[in-house]
Amino acid sequence: MKLIHTSNAPEAIGPYSQGVIVNNMFYSSGQIALTPEGNLAGEDVSTQTHQVFANLKAVLEEAGASLETVIKTTVFLKDMSDFPEVNEIYGGYFETHKPARSCVEVSKLPKDVKIEIEVIALVK
C-alpha cells in the first residue's frame, strides 16, 4: 500500500490521506472545492466543481494515473437541483472516456461545500 500526497491539492482536513494505491489501483479520498492553499474556491457550484476536478487531476497525477484511467466516480451533492449544471461540467472532463458513476444528495459536506467527488482509477 502506498499513500499519496501532493502539494498541488489541498491537505487532508482529517486523519486520512489524499489517496492510496493498492495493487495498481488508486483510491482517492473525496475532493472538495478547496484550493491547494486550503481556501474555498468560490460559492457557486460551477466554480466549486472545476476546483474539485483540478484537485482530482493533481492527486491522480501524483499517483501515476489520470482522468482517462478513472474507472468509477462517486459524486456527492448538497443539492440535487445542481445536478444538471454539475453533469454538464463533469461531461467536459470525461468527453470520450465515461467511467461508471454514482451521484447522491447529502445533507452536508465538509466546509459546507456544494460538491465532493471521489474516484477509483488504474495506475499506469
The C-alpha angle 30, 74, 10, rounded to 5 degrees, equals: 20
pLDDT tens-place string over residues 29-59: 999 999 999 999 999 999 999 999 999 999 9
Among residues 103, 109, 122, 123, which one is catalytic? 103
71 is a catalytic site residue:
no
Question: In the prediction, which pLDDT does 124 show?
Answer: 87
Q: Are 60 and 67 in contact (CB under 8 A)?
A: yes
Q: What is this structure's pTM? A: 0.96
Q: Which CATH class is domain 2-122?
A: alpha beta
> Following CA atoms 80, 84, 88, 94 in sequence, which dihedral angle do they give, to the nearest 10 degrees?
50
The per-residue pLDDT for range 107-119, each reduced to its tens digit, is 999 999 999 999 9
DSSP state of 65: -
Check if the beta carbon of residue 116 is closer than 8 Å to that of residue 32: yes
Q: Which three cell numbers stand for residue 34?
A: 478547496
Please give the DSSP secondary-structure letter assigned to residue 57.
H
Q: What is the pLDDT of residues 57-71, one digit of tens each?
A: 999 999 999 999 999
